[in-house]
Amino acid sequence: MLLHFSKMHGLGNDFMVIDGINQSVFLNQAQISRLSHRNFGIGFDQLILIEAPQHPETDFHFRIFNSDGSESGHCGNGARCVAKYVRQRGLSWKKQLRLSTNTATMQAELEDNGLVSINMGAPKFEPEQIPLRYAQKALSYGLEVEGVRYQTAALSMGNPHGVITVPDIEKATVEKTGPALSQHSYFPEQANIGFMQIMDRETIKLRVFERGVGETLACGTGACAAMVVSRLQNLTEKRVKVILPGGSLWIEWGGTSQNHSDEVKMTGPAKWVFEGQIEL
């Protein structure tokens, strides 16, 4: 099987992008894991498989697979890459696209300045929607790891997210605390864990441990989750620059603690790296 692919990234969060419309693609978890290896494979954080739309009101469907081969529900950086991919490959000439994943439907817009904006939908806070093993919704939850209690905000942006606030992002114990919180028994499907530092009312810094991957240079849904949490804590304005290790995203959300129904808008770059083919 000869597989054609493209390598893309959003702020260093890198993807193997596959056109599953014009070629038949059958990959198992072990194959995806081998392809993700940065020494013996293509190397990527996630694999994105673009498929034909599953509903008449959408233009494309895409699936996201983590580097360990597990499937994820949503990916903000990946959505921007999908929008740019289908335009540059001539699969669509629309500047506005309706995209779907297994857990979300979103509007993507290709901006004239080369950036891509994604309407990421409204955040979800009910424990059963995250999912979170907790009886009642709260602004934050005390999660204990190795005798240390972390006040963790929890929500879904198509993926389950936990967000903790830290005084210094550079000193955050992402490598140790990230996987421990991600695999906490309160998160039955594990969670992406964001470590957030508030810089001012229009700027935050963020590092994210992603389930099934590890710490990445950027996480789009993680940036949205962190911005929403900072907004609910009345620490930031409606539009925030989120500085990640790989670069910056701009997140807009007008919701409040009384009204969560506003949808989150994310704007950032999507870059093409190279194209190739590999025999499986």
Residues involved in catalysis: 75, 219
Q: CA angle, 19 as apex, 24 and 246 as ends, to 5°?
A: 140
Cβ atoms of 205 and 172 closer than 8 Å: no
What does the alpha-carbon distance between residue 122 and residue 224 come to, in Å, rounded to a whole number?
Answer: 10
Longest dimension (CA), the chain: 54
SS3 208: strand
Cβ atoms of 186 and 132 closer than 8 Å: yes
What does the alpha-carbon distance between residue 209 and residue 197 come to, in Å, rounded to a whole number?
Answer: 15
3-state SS string over 122-183? Answer: CCECCHHHCCCCCCCCCCCEEEEECCEEEEEEEEECCCEEEEEECCCHHHCCHHHHHHHHHC
What does the alpha-carbon distance between residue 280 and residue 277 come to, in Å, rounded to a whole number?
Answer: 10
Tokens of 65: 């697979």
